[in-house]
Structure formats: structure tokens, C-alpha cells
Chain A
Amino acid sequence: MKQSYKKIFMDGLLHQNPVLVQLLGVCSILAVTTSLENALGMSLAVTIVLTLSNMVISLLRKIIPNEVRIVSYIVVIAGFVTVVDLLMQAFLPALANSLGIFIPLIVVNCIILARAEAFASKNGILASAVDGLGMGLGYSFVIAFVGLVREILGNGTILGFEIFGGFYQPCSMFIMPAGAFIVLGCTIALYQAIHLRMEAGKEGKK
């Protein structure tokens, strides 16, 4: 069962989008999307760690015994995240400052474990890297979109810049947890509506 790299990538980005279709990693999306800046920080961190951990686990897939694979994945992911965290604090302090709280959160992001289990443990290293990148970017665009909408509605700003010039009174519910659920729910509904329409169009052409 060989898949083309393009298909693996597009699956992650759209067709099997980790958030919109698989509903993975939702807790991190709800928690850190209070502003676009936070969302971009988190998406960068997740994409990098997901791609690299997919590669490492794919490399070890023949060594790890089936019975203890989940434990092994978690050890590899947690170790990996800690190494990245320490290196960033030491050599990229400015980036570590803005991403600081998100890095440890990546360990418990279920997308990473899910991709290790569902893809990297069964596929080659290059395919796993492409899968990690596709899934990471798929996660990124959703988290960035939710962050953008919540920041505009809840704070009246984009990346901290005032955009409405005072006539819009920001509705702070959108930067509260309730707003996160509402915006994410609407995003998923919107995606499904577009997706279903496109699928129906394809069927019609046949």
C-alpha cells in the first residue's frame, strides 16, 4: 500500500485534517487561540515537533516491541520535546519567551501520538516526515483561523493592532472558553459544508 507523497500531504492538510475531520488536538486549539500571535506560536511548535517525532518513530518502528509501543512513543516524544525546549531556551531565548508555555503542552497534544500510532509506525521515514508536515500545517491553518476570528471579535485587534478604530466594542466572550467552543464549532461546520458540496460536485461530474 504505497501512497504518493502528494496524497499523504493533502490528506493531512485537508481530507484527513487532524482538527476538522479527526477532531484531534482540540484542547490545545481551545486553550491557546485567544490571539493570533499565540496561535501562530503553537502551530509552529507543533509542526516542527510533529514532523521530527514522526521521523524518529518511523526510524525506530522495527525495534519497538508491539506490546509497549505507546509507552515508547510517549517516552520518545516527551524526551524530544524537552530537548527542543532546553535548546530553544539556551540558543533562541526570544522565541522561547513567546512560545514558552506551549512547548511543554506539545507532549500531551494527541495529534502527535495519533500520527505516531496510525502512520509513522507503519511507514518509511520520508513518508512519515511528509505526513507530519501535512498534518502539522493542517493543524496550523485551523488554529490560526480560530485565533484570528477570536482576536478580531473578542479584542478588536489583529496581531495586537487596533483595526476598528473604536466604533466596535469587542465582545470579550470570544476570548473566554465559551467563545473558543463556538468559533471552533462554526469552523468545523463551515468546513463540512464546503467539503460536502465539493464531494457532491465530484459525484455529479461522474
Chain B
Amino acid sequence: MSEHSPISESRHSAKKPNLFLEGIHFRIALTLFAITGVVALLLGVVNGLTKDKIAAIAEEKAIAARTEVLPDAVSFNDLSYAEGVISSVYEARDASGGLLGFAIETGANGFGGPIQQIVGIEVGSENGSYQLRVSGVSILDMSDETPGVGSKANTSSFLGQFVGMTLGILTGDADAVSSATSDLSYDAVSGATYSSEGVRAGVEAALTIATQIIEESGGTVE
């Protein structure tokens, strides 16, 4: 078989049949093995050196994003909740330990993939029932959206329109909209309908889950 190989023809005579152990094939395999081995070793070393630092930076970013959407919060407790588009729920408390709101990480689908964002929800109480309002939205990762088109949804003018919204206003419930104290409405970014919808769906999911958490603990949500 080796007689037909162009490699063996150029360097070996037909007298040496065992090309693998003695000849060129062995050298090729060994060199390639050595190169991949060295590269793999290098990657392992670099990964070991940088792993903790990268994880710490990601954690720092998440903390910064949670603080951005709920600036008054002093501590955040992980409620270890993940379901559907919700990837984490943090409960925010103020200095005296009172419930301030929730920072909820969602990953609803935009145009190219999930949009990772943190939605801050403020919990206010009045006449024995709770009101949940969006306090801020911060995008963590929307790199699957088209740069220059879908990425336009990551602007303060688009994200800012969610601030102050309740679940009723966001879903267009007529009673909630007419009784709203200020003029709140949702406008998609033109040309980026799917990306806008991804952000909006994440906010809606966050409001829904926050409502559910309050109701499960025995409160009523207005």
C-alpha cells in the first residue's frame, strides 16, 4: 500500500516496507503530536492563570449591573431561581434590611439569540398591597444582535422608557394605562423590532416573576 503513497516514493525505496515505525510517517505524527501537545499545555497553563480572574471580572460586572438598576440597594441575596428566560433572581435590601426590590437577569430571544440583561424592579407598598415598577434595565450581552442595527436597542433612550412601568402598563392593560400618573409607553427601535422585542419580553418576564414571588410570600400586587 505504501508503494502508492507519493510521500514514501520520494524519500524511500521499496526495500523498507515498515514505513510507520522507521520512516517519515512516524516523524510527521510525532512532530504534529508535539506541536499540539505544546499548544495544549500552553492553553492549559494560561487558562489556569486567567480562570479565576475572568470569573471575578464577570462577577464584578454583574454586581455593577445590579447596582446600576437598583442604586439604593445595600445587599443582594441570590434566590437561586432559574426558569425559562429567567437566569437568576436577586433580592435587594436596603441598610435596615427592608425589601427594596429585585434584580432579575433574563435572556429573552432577540433577533440573533438571547439578550442577557438585568432588570431592576422596585417594590413599593401602599394600602396593604405592593406595587412593582421597573427601576432600570441594563444590557449585559447582546452580541448576537446585528451591530449597528439591533445594537441600537442598547441606548439610554430606549431602555429608559421602561423605567416606572408596571406589568399592566407594559402589557397594555387599558385600566392600568389610563390610571398611570405619567405618560409611559413602549416604542420599539425602528428597524430593530426583534431586538427591541427581546428586551421588552425580558422586562415582562421579570415583572411577572417578581409578582409571583410577592404573591407566593402572601402579599398582594396591585
Contact = CB atoms under 8 A, between A and B. Distances in A.
Do A and B come from the same complex? yes
Interface of A: 32, 34-35, 38, 60, 63-65, 67-68, 71-72, 75-76, 78-79, 82-83, 86-87, 89-91, 93, 100-101, 151, 154-155, 172, 175-176
A158 to B, nearest CB: 13
5 contacts: A65-B24, A65-B31, A82-B46, A89-B57, A172-B149
A65 B149 contact: no
Contacts of B54: 86, 89-90
Interface of B: 7, 24, 27-28, 31-32, 35-36, 39-40, 42-43, 46-47, 49-50, 53-54, 57, 143, 146-149, 191
A76 B35 contact: yes
A36 B47 CA distance: 32
Given A34-B146, A90-B50, A155-B148, A68 B31 contact: yes
Contacts of A72: 31-32, 35
Contacts, number: 72
Chain A at the B interface: SS class: helix
Given A34-B146, A34-B147, A34-B148, A86 B28 contact: no
B149 A87 contact: no
A67 B148 contact: no
A75 B39 contact: yes
B35 A87 contact: no
Nearest to B53: A90
Contacts of B147: 32, 34-35, 38
A178 to B, nearest CB: 13
A38 to B, nearest CB: 6
B148 A68 contact: no
B143 A100 contact: yes
Contacts of B49: 90
Contact of A101 (B50, B143, B191): B143
Nearest to B60: A93
A90 B39 CA distance: 19
Contacts of A151: 148
